Amino acid sequence: MMYQKFIPSQYVKSVFDISPESLLEKGVRGIITDLDNTLVEWDRPDATPKLIDWLRSMKEAGIQVIIVSNNKELRVKSFADPLGIPFIFQARKPMGRAFRKALKLMNVSREQVVVIGDQMMTDIFGGNLNKLHTILVLPVAQSDGFITRFNRLLERRIMKKLKEKGQLTWEEEN
């Protein structure tokens, strides 16, 4: 069934609910993460101190992080460069090329990677198509850019279908 590809392997409220210890227990050595509304609000230019600490904890645990974003180079570069984090911009998620490129850059196998994102249509769908462990987080901001607003509409329809079929095992808070 097509809807299966939109179901995340895991669901947490935010990236801060993902600890390096829990990832290491699963053999995870790399994180492919979305940027906007996953790590910070889509209109926030820089990382928060809490996010900087989280990223540092991953690095200290030997877990690589790469940002894979559909946004423009300037947005992703200006966010990632000060943090020393590699990134792929204009990734065209859910298409698979950026996910495969991220695996190659980190030099890890599919089984050693998690994909973290706030959108079922791009992050989760793309990660699942590439047979990666996907983690859906709640969007950091309540507002979205134009394309994302459209995607959220589709996501709500998909979630409704999944709930009707009893295939959604977690509930949204709001």
So what's the pLDDT on residue 174?
A: 37
Q: How far apart are CA 109 and CA 122, in angstroms?
A: 21
Give domain status of residue 169, yes or no.
no
Give domain status of residue 66, yes or no.
yes
Q: Is the pLDDT of residue 2 over 50?
A: yes
So what's the pLDDT on residue 115?
A: 98
- Encode pLDDT of 21-80 as tens digits: 999 999 999 999 999 999 998 888 999 999 999 999 999 999 999 999 999 999 999 999
Q: What is the mean pLDDT of residues 83-90?
A: 97
In this prediction, residue 173 has a pLDDT band, given cuts at 50, 70 and 90, of: very low
How many whole angstroms from its chain centre is CA 136? 7
Give domain status of residue 39, yes or no.
yes
Percent of the chain with pLDDT over 70: 88
Q: Which residue range forms the structural domain that includes residue 96?
A: 2-164
Give domain status of residue 9, yes or no.
yes
Give domain status of residue 170, yes or no.
no
How many whole angstroms from its chain centre is CA 159? 18
In total, how many domains does the chain have? 1
In this prediction, residue 146 has a pLDDT band, given cuts at 50, 70 and 90, of: low
- What CATH number did the domain enclosing 125 receive? 3.40.50.1000
* b/e map 135-154, b = 16+ CB within 10 Å: bbbebbeeebeeebeebbee
Instruction: Name the DSSP class of 124.
Output: I
Give domain status of residue 76, yes or no.
yes
Q: How far apart are CA 166 and CA 140, in angstroms?
A: 27
So what's the pLDDT on residue 150?
A: 67
Q: How far apart are CA 17 and CA 10, in angstroms?
A: 11
Q: How far apart are CA 134 and CA 145, in angstroms?
A: 23
Give domain status of residue 79, yes or no.
yes
Q: What is the mean pLDDT of residues 126-146?
A: 85
- Give the closest residue to 139 by CA, choosing from 42, 59, 3: 42
**pTM to 2 decimal places:** 0.85
Decide: 91 and 52 in contact? Cβ < 8 Å: no
Q: How far apart are CA 150 and CA 169, in angstroms?
A: 24
The residues facing 113 across adjacent strands are 30
Output the CA torsion 60→67→12→95 (10° steps).
-140
